[in-house]
Amino acid sequence: MSSLFIFTLITHILLGLVGVIATFLVLLNLLKKNLDIKKLRNMSLLSALGYFLSWFSGGYYYWFYYGANVKPVIKEGDYAWAHLVIMEAKEHIFLLLPIMSLVTVAFMYMSKTRLVTDSNFKSAVTYFVAVSFTLAVLITLSGIIISGGAQ
Amino acid sequence: MLELNTLDRTQERPITVYALLPAFIIASVFVGVITIIAELAINSAGDKFIKTWLTETHGHHWVGKGIWTLILFGVFSFIGYLSLKIRSKETPARLVRWAGHTAIIVSIAIFLFYTYEYNLSH
């Protein structure tokens, strides 16, 4: 693998982790009684940035390297399901995450009043971010399984 | 109709935010539908023609799905911004919960579909 693809793969992983951790911090802060809106805004922005950049770097790696070099190896091996189920599901479910993160940013920047005054709305947003975080964790775990399948 | 004059307009632009939610729901459903249909739609020549079209148009079928998901999200966000009416105080929270439910349902559907496809062929 060339240095460019090593770089894009590592970037994809690290930025994805940034997104996941930032989403977790948004969730943690939403669970507090007194909301720190500035922190929520910063973490939601960081999360969105992480997911979008992870998407682009991972997409580049996937398009120009994984498809021709890694996928055939996995499919021919003992763990074909690592690509045929896990990778296929991961790459499509991931498409939801950047948009969920954008919506979360919008909540933090445009619904500050309602988040603070409407507990029903705050609870709904917390649920939405929890779903986003859960999907992000499952996607991260999927990446680990796929790496194992390639080994 | 939500009484917008009770809200601090410098703090919140409700329609802008809430318009994103139906748009997200539509975009999520699109992801689920295009993912499954692209695998199942086969023409008489045995070609997965939707996947082929996406690849030929965008370089890779997955890239195409991502592009169209973003386009749909943007278009329906704009349509929602122009047309969405909040009829009760509960509507915003309800929209958010439905957005969360949709993400879960679509994710499960995609995973189950690929599991089913794998079990069919192995």
pLDDT tens-digit profile of B72-81? 999 999 998 8
pLDDT over 90, % of chain B: 64
Q: In this complex, do A120 and B14 lie within 8 Å of one another by their Cβ atoms?
A: no
Map tokens 């439905």 to a residue: B98
**Phi, psi (rounded to 5 degrees) for A86:** -70, -50
Q: In this complex, do A124 and B93 lie within 8 Å of one another by their Cβ atoms?
A: yes
Among A99, A124, A127, select the one facing B24 at the smallest CB separation.
A99
Residue of A nearest to B93 (CA): A121
| Residues of chain A contacting B119 with CB distance shorter than 8 Å | none
pLDDT of residue B11: 40
For chain B, what is the mean pLDDT?
86
Residue B45, min C-alpha distance to chain A (Å): 23
Question: Any idea what the Cα angle at residue A58 is, between residues B78 and B119, rounded to 5°?
Answer: 95
pLDDT of residue A102: 96
Element housing A82 (H / E): none
Task: Give the pLDDT confidence of B22-32 residue by residue, as tens digits.
Answer: 999 999 999 99
Strand partners, A111: B12
pLDDT at B12 over 80: no
More confident residue, A47 or B118: A47
Q: What is the pTM for the complete model shown?
A: 0.90
**CB distance from A18 to chain B under 8 Å?**
no
Mean pLDDT of B81-108: 90
Q: In this complex, do A96 and B94 lie within 8 Å of one another by their Cβ atoms?
A: no
pLDDT of residue A66: 85
Strand partners, B12: A111
Task: Give the pLDDT confidence of B49-65 residue by residue, as tens digits.
Answer: 999 999 999 989 999 99
pLDDT over 70, % of chain B: 88
**Which residues are CB-neighbours of B48 under 8 A, at least 6 positions away?**
B38, B39, B41, B42
Q: In this complex, do A128 and B100 lie within 8 Å of one another by their Cβ atoms?
A: yes
Residue B120, min C-alpha distance to chain A (Å): 12
**CB distance from B68 to chain A under 8 Å?**
no
Q: How far apart are CA B31 and CA A9, in angstroms?
A: 24
pLDDT of residue B83: 82
In our burial notation (b when 16+ CB lie closer than 10 A, e otherwise), range B59-84 reads: ebbbbbbbebbeebbeebbeebbeeb
Q: In this complex, do A80 and B122 lie within 8 Å of one another by their Cβ atoms?
A: yes
- Write out chain A's pLDDT in tens, 151 residues: 788 889 999 999 999 999 999 999 999 999 998 899 999 999 999 999 999 999 999 999 988 888 888 888 777 777 778 788 998 999 999 999 999 999 999 999 988 888 998 999 999 999 999 999 999 999 999 998 887 766 6
pLDDT at B4 over 50: no
**CB distance from A127 to chain B under 8 Å?**
yes
More confident residue, B19 or B7: B19
**CB distance from A36 to chain B under 8 Å?**
no
